[in-house]
A and B are shown apart, each in its own frame.
Chain A
Amino acid sequence: MLRLEPRQQASSTMRWLTPILAVAITMVMGGFLFAAMGKDPFEAIKIIFLDPFFHETFGPYSRSQLMVKAGPLILIATGLSIGFRAGVWNIGAEGQFVMGAIAGGAVGLALYPAEGIWVLPLMTIAGALGGMAWAMIPAFLKIKFNTNEILVSLMLVYVAYNFLAAMVTGPLKSPDGFGFPESRSFTSVDSTHLPMIYEPLGMHAGVMVALALVIAAYVMMERHLLGFQIRLTGESPRAAKFAGVNPAIIVAVTLGISGALAGMAGLFEVTGPAGKLTTNFPVGYGFTAIIVAFLGRLNPIGIVLAGLLMALTYIGGELAQLSLGIPAAAISVFQGMMLFFLLAVDVFVNYRLVWKKEVK
């Protein structure tokens, strides 16, 4: 019978081959899905995967949007991956994203209409601090009372959503907005508008910061003592204790970092693509980033690629809705399938399929 046997060593060929294989399987199975719905499968797959890059009219613009969409996912996932490697389960990045945006946005609104290049950096710091502060609540409760961080961080997402609603219908509501629940626009004032560095690739300042932080995270995890302690804590908490690692510090540091990065991502979102604080600006990046972190195997380069792949299916999915009238629900089924295949074929990195006679 067929069975899986562990490899002596993780296969480096499989490491890059499996994602390609998974995408190929997704194309085939997705094709069946679209065919079952009466759509041209080849056309649909081409639109989702290729048109965002190569289509004559859509390509140039879609290419520039890939990083805009992937940026926050990558930034949040990078922060989360650090915690996940330490075995700290922050699944409330969505809440930290929102609180960062509120904190940073509030600073910008308080300074309105100040001009100066120092405004945006100040807001970014406030955003990071806001996200970090929100993440420190589960960290503190875990350290002090041993309260499970999954529960606390998740519950705080909903608290943050309600807090956002209270803010944009209250203190942060735009005085010129006819009472609608939204803040002043950050993009209409130069000092609070996230600058676009390289338009054709959608590289706004937030994306640049995200990529820089990906590198910083990589260096920290692989080359720095703290990174070693974090990994050790995740792999063997007992060994970490023997090595003198203080678990409380690891919890605080990893939650703090992931909260800060999520908060920063929130700030970049409202000062750039979203443009203002509204009840609807959070679109679930904080949750999607968890998938991105794992698809990227908790590794910085992997996370960048996974973030881009997710962004591609969003953008390609919209194009497919637009040109073929495929319903949004079918696109999310398709995305779910792709994630399944990506996760499933990963098994071949560490295992191989062998044929063995049944031994009884």
Chain B
Amino acid sequence: MKFTTTLAAAAALALGLGGSAIAQTKAGFIYVGPVGDLGWSYEHDQGRQAVVEAFGDAVETTYVESVPEGADAERVMTQMALGGADIIFTTSFGYMDPTLNVAAKFPNVKFEHATGYKRADNVSTYSARFYEGRHVIGLIAGRMTESNTVGYIASFPIPEVVRGINAAYLAAKSVNPDVQFKVVWVYTWFDPGKEADAANALIEQGADVIMQHTDSPAAMTIAEEKGIFAFGQASDMMQFGPTARLSSIIDNWGPYYVERVKAVMDGTWASVDTWDGIAPGMVEIGEFSDRIPADVQAEAQAASDAIAAGTLHPFTGPINKQDGSVWLAAGETADDGTLAGMNFYVEGVEGELPN
């Protein structure tokens, strides 16, 4: 069945009949939150819509939202595969094992798992180098803070989050030696009330710039209310803090999704590991606010450009770990393996990494 679908798709494309209904490629998406979370799942759904826009009737997309990780995810993926999906995007780390299990049962269906590390012949992985974005906003934070205190709302102590804290801290420190990071772990990805409380606690402790690695825009609204600065996370969040928002790190999955669906249509899909950053546009830096002085804007833009050009790596030595031991010698850059499993603070970050 899959064979005929591809054949039909190929034929349709060859004949220039991209819009033909019989040639539809089916793409399925599984989200961990509601598409209305305005954060993680929202941006993945924006990616899905980019696919629809790019291919029109040649593609049929389906999605299931708020799917808990684990057993429920495995069932939903299986149903999608049974329903004739050609490619399935599983957009949360916790979907890793279920994706592998289902992929083993459906060798003809392509799977794309976000942020995981296990692959198979029909399972690709993809993730974004958000730490590149963290570097850029870290620079801005370091320049903009007047109290020299940056507050950081963190979800769970996992490498992804730790990497973000380290990258932002190093960047801020490089432009402001006196800067201090205060980190609050809320142990949730999504609880607007608690995120708001955490933002208040950080402001209380003197933070005048807030960064977050949780999903809701609660911290941004608090920053707006208290008249301090913050950055959009996952989505731009401009509407929540028109004056507070300095910039944002936007997850832009659209180009990747379009490319992968196209590969399925063309029959060129292969299992790959993608870890893209600013250069291909998977990580986008939101527009700079007018409140950032022109020279700081230029500096941040230059850093962003240098990262994109590959001339700047946010983790370039000398960098010591928090305990003072040497991590990277001068000029050395971090390898992807260490970054992927990062479970330590760099020197200068205060507090203990929960472990």
A and B touch in the complex (CB under 8 A): yes
A contact set with B: CB distance below 8 Å: 57-58, 61-62, 65, 68-69, 162, 165-166, 169-170, 178-182, 185, 187, 269, 272-276, 278-281, 283, 314-315, 318-319, 321-323, 325, 327-329
- A61:B79 contact, CB within 8 angstroms: yes
Is B275 in the interface zone, CB < 8 Å from A? no
- A279:B156 contact, CB within 8 angstroms: yes
Chain B proximity of A104: nearest CB distance (Å): 16
> Closest chain A residue to B105 by CB distance?
A61
A57, B70: Cα distance in complex, Å: 23
- A321:B354 contact, CB within 8 angstroms: no
Name the one of A58, A178, A278, A319 contacting B94, with C-beta atoms under 8 angstroms. A278
- B354:A169 contact, CB within 8 angstroms: yes
Known contacts A180-B158, A280-B68, A323-B62, A170 near B355 by CB under 8 Å: yes
A117, B157: Cα distance in complex, Å: 35
Across-interface contacts of B159 in A (CB, < 8 A): 178-180
- A273:B70 contact, CB within 8 angstroms: yes
Is B297 in the interface zone, CB < 8 Å from A? no
- B83:A322 contact, CB within 8 angstroms: yes
**Sample of 23 A–B contacts (CB below 8 Å):** A57-B82, A58-B82, A165-B187, A169-B157, A169-B355, A170-B355, A178-B117, A178-B159, A179-B341, A180-B93, A181-B157, A275-B70, A278-B94, A280-B94, A283-B72, A314-B72, A321-B63, A321-B65, A322-B80, A322-B83, A325-B62, A328-B64, A328-B66
Q: Across the A-B interface, give the 8 residue pairs with the lowest CB-CB distance, nearest first.
A: A273-B71, A274-B70, A178-B341, A283-B68, A179-B343, A280-B69, A328-B66, A179-B159
A318, B71: Cα distance in complex, Å: 13
Chain B proximity of A100: nearest CB distance (Å): 16
Is B75 in the interface zone, CB < 8 Å from A? yes
Is B192 in the interface zone, CB < 8 Å from A? no
Chain B proximity of A241: nearest CB distance (Å): 44
> Closest chain A residue to B35 by CB distance?
A327
Chain A proximity of B1: nearest CB distance (Å): 10
A325, B29: Cα distance in complex, Å: 12
Q: Name the residue in B68, B80, B84 with the highest tally of chain A Cβ atoms < 10 Å from its Cβ.
A: B68
Number of B residues contacting the other chain (C-beta, 8 Å)? 40
Chain B proximity of A161: nearest CB distance (Å): 8
> Closest chain B residue to A185 by CB distance?
B97
- A181:B82 contact, CB within 8 angstroms: no
- A181:B83 contact, CB within 8 angstroms: no
A279, B67: Cα distance in complex, Å: 14
Known contacts A65-B75, A269-B71, A280-B70, A179 near B158 by CB under 8 Å: yes
Name the one of A166, A274, A328 contacting B34, with C-beta atoms under 8 angstroms. A328
A166, B83: Cα distance in complex, Å: 39
Across-interface contacts of A273 in B (CB, < 8 A): 70-71, 74
Across-interface contacts of A165 in B (CB, < 8 A): 156, 187
> Closest chain A residue to B32 by CB distance?
A280
**Other contacts beyond A280-B94, A322-B62: 18, CB < 8 A:** A61-B79, A65-B75, A68-B71, A169-B156, A178-B117, A178-B159, A179-B162, A272-B71, A275-B97, A280-B69, A318-B67, A318-B75, A321-B64, A321-B65, A322-B28, A327-B65, A328-B64, A328-B66
B contact set with A: CB distance below 8 Å: 28, 34-35, 62-72, 74-76, 78-80, 82-84, 93-94, 97-98, 117, 156-159, 162, 187, 340-343, 354-355
Across-interface contacts of A280 in B (CB, < 8 A): 68-70, 94
Chain A proximity of B209: nearest CB distance (Å): 27
Chain B proximity of A93: nearest CB distance (Å): 17
Q: Name the residue in A57, A62, A69, A328 with the highest tally of chain B Cβ atoms < 10 Å from its Cβ.
A: A328
> Closest chain A residue to B64 by CB distance?
A321
Across-interface contacts of B157 in A (CB, < 8 A): 169, 181
- A61:B78 contact, CB within 8 angstroms: yes
> Closest chain B residue to A331 by CB distance?
B66
- B79:A281 contact, CB within 8 angstroms: no
A329, B34: Cα distance in complex, Å: 9
A274, B64: Cα distance in complex, Å: 19
> Closest chain A residue to B92 by CB distance?
A280
A276, B97: Cα distance in complex, Å: 9
- B158:A318 contact, CB within 8 angstroms: no
> Closest chain A residue to B71 by CB distance?
A273
- B68:A322 contact, CB within 8 angstroms: no
A170, B156: Cα distance in complex, Å: 11
Across-interface contacts of A68 in B (CB, < 8 A): 71, 75
Name the one of A62, A65, A170, A281 contacting B69, with C-beta atoms under 8 angstroms. A281
Across-interface contacts of B156 in A (CB, < 8 A): 165, 169, 181, 279
A31, B69: Cα distance in complex, Å: 30
Chain B proximity of A299: nearest CB distance (Å): 27
- B34:A169 contact, CB within 8 angstroms: no
A62, B35: Cα distance in complex, Å: 25
A278, B93: Cα distance in complex, Å: 11
Chain B proximity of A248: nearest CB distance (Å): 36
Name the one of A61, A179, A187, A272 contacting B342, with C-beta atoms under 8 angstroms. A179
Across-interface contacts of A318 in B (CB, < 8 A): 64, 67, 72, 75-76, 79
Across-interface contacts of B98 in A (CB, < 8 A): 275
A66, B98: Cα distance in complex, Å: 18
A220, B28: Cα distance in complex, Å: 48
> Closest chain A residue to B342 by CB distance?
A179
A319, B64: Cα distance in complex, Å: 9
Chain A proximity of B190: nearest CB distance (Å): 12
Chain B proximity of A189: nearest CB distance (Å): 13
A273, B101: Cα distance in complex, Å: 11
Known contacts A57-B82, A279-B156, A318-B64, A178 near B340 by CB under 8 Å: yes
Across-interface contacts of B341 in A (CB, < 8 A): 178-179
> Closest chain A residue to B74 by CB distance?
A273
- B70:A278 contact, CB within 8 angstroms: yes
A74, B162: Cα distance in complex, Å: 40
Chain A proximity of B258: nearest CB distance (Å): 20
- B83:A58 contact, CB within 8 angstroms: yes
A180, B76: Cα distance in complex, Å: 23
A148, B34: Cα distance in complex, Å: 36
Chain B proximity of A57: nearest CB distance (Å): 5
> Closest chain A residue to B354 by CB distance?
A169
Chain B proximity of A251: nearest CB distance (Å): 32
Chain A proximity of B181: nearest CB distance (Å): 20
A261, B97: Cα distance in complex, Å: 27
A344, B84: Cα distance in complex, Å: 40
Across-interface contacts of B355 in A (CB, < 8 A): 169-170
A280, B66: Cα distance in complex, Å: 12
